Amino acid sequence: KAGVTQTPRYLIKTRGQQVTLSCSPISGHRSVSWYQQTPGQGLQFLFEYFSETQRNKGNFPGRFSGRQFSNSRSEMNVSTLELGDSALYLCASSPGREINEQFFGPGTRLTVL
């Protein structure tokens, strides 16, 4: 079974631009969570989707948004990029309705200049 895939793997943007990241979960997994990872803050939860519904949201500004499609693929968008948005963005999928073990994708490394 293929693992979680994320595209693109690397991205360089400038301040003020917007970016869209994509995540394809493991086949059959319906829950997708997004995390931001930085050296100082560790893994910070962004949001979680199940069956196209956002069930949980972390403490991030409204510039961060996401969605999930009927095939469980998910996208997250960051508008008006700031330097502090430079981070590794990780997507994780979980098989069931409850969020238990999560399987992470390789991440998207975003650099904002």
- Under the rule (CB under 8 A), what is the footprint of another protein? 33, 35, 41-43, 45, 48, 50, 55-56, 58, 90, 97-107
Q: Indicate the residue among 50 and 64 with the shorter CB distance to another protein.
A: 50
The nearest distance, CB 29 to another protein, in angstroms, is 13
Tokens (6 digits) for 42:
């560790």
The nearest distance, CB 44 to another protein, in angstroms, is 8
User: Does the N-terminal peptide bond of residue 8 adopt cis geometry, omega within 30 degrees of 0?
Assistant: yes
The nearest distance, CB 91 to another protein, in angstroms, is 9
Q: Indicate the residue among 16 and 32 with the shorter CB distance to another protein.
A: 32
Q: Indicate the residue among 13 and 30 with the shorter CB distance to another protein.
A: 30
The nearest distance, CB 3 to another protein, in angstroms, is 10
